[in-house]
Amino acid sequence: MAYELPPLPYDYAALEPHIDEATMKLHHDKHHQAYVTNLNGAVEKHPELAKHTPEELLANLATIPEDVRKVVQNHGGGHVNHTMFWEIMKANGGGEPTGAIAAQITADFGSFEEFKKQFNDAATKQFGSGWGFLVFKGGKLVIVTKPNQDSPLSDGLYPILGNDVWEHAYYLKYQNKRPDYLAAWWNTVNWDEINKRFAKAKQ
């Protein structure tokens, strides 16, 4: 197989009580695995694609053979988005941002509280399934939302952080209360990892 499901970087229950163990097992082992399996299926039809990382495939969607382009967009996007998602969370995470991302958030949004408010609002309003992302564009941080598993990489933008607002990410614990999930999620974030992604975004 060209691409593999990365192991979860912590125990399934590590993000309790904010994200429950049952959701993590289902989300990682079933949903993320399905994206990897389907991406591999697309690449089997065009083996030359396997020399590229999933990120490279998404950044160059126009060059992907048309018969598998949508599969790469959807399932490659699902693979890349979720790989990021697991990495930007940790046990006993959350709190105020630190380092360079903290300074940039204050510069661009006025405060961390204002940034959270705007991010949660945008992600709450994302109709149906999708993601809220933070990207670096034109020298400043910008909140964007994407439907389905679309990635900012396809717009030439590197996602610094992202939150999954597909119902499978929260429905077992929060049911239809997406805003409650979004508010709780900040207690899981890994600012060290987000700072690494911010440094990469600036490059």
Same domain, 72 and 105: no
- Asked if residue 118 and residue 69 are part of one domain, the reply reads no
Q: Which two tokens stand for residue 5?
A: 């499901």
Is residue 138, in this structure, part of any structural domain at all? Answer: yes
Measured CA angle at 52 (ends 197, 68), to 5 deg: 110
Residue 9 lies in a domain: no
What pTM value is reported for the model? 0.97
pLDDT for the residue numbered 44: 97
**pLDDT at position 63:** 97
Q: How many domains does the chain have?
A: 2
* Same domain assignment for residues 76 and 156: no
Cβ–Cβ < 8 Å for 26, 172:
yes
Instruction: Indicate which CATH number applies to the domain containing 159.
Output: 3.55.40.20
Between the two ends of the chain, the Cα-to-Cα distance in Å is: 31
**Domain end position, chosen among 87, 107, 139:** 87
pLDDT at 1: 82
Q: What are phi and psi of 145, to 5 degrees?
A: -115, 155
Final residue in a domain of this structure, among 66, 87, 108 = 87
Q: What is the pLDDT along the chain (203 residues), one digit of tens a residue?
A: 899 999 999 999 999 999 999 999 999 999 999 999 999 999 999 999 999 999 999 999 999 999 999 999 999 999 999 999 999 999 999 999 999 999 999 999 999 999 999 999 999 999 999 999 999 999 999 999 999 999 999 999 999 999 999 999 999 999 999 999 999 999 999 999 999 999 999 99
In terms of domains, do 103 and 187 share one?
yes
Whole-angstrom distance, CA of residue 40 vs CA of residue 180: 35
Provide the domain limits for residue 104: 99-202
Examine the domain organization and report whether 33 and 120 are in the same domain.
no
Asked if residue 14 is part of any domain, the answer here is no
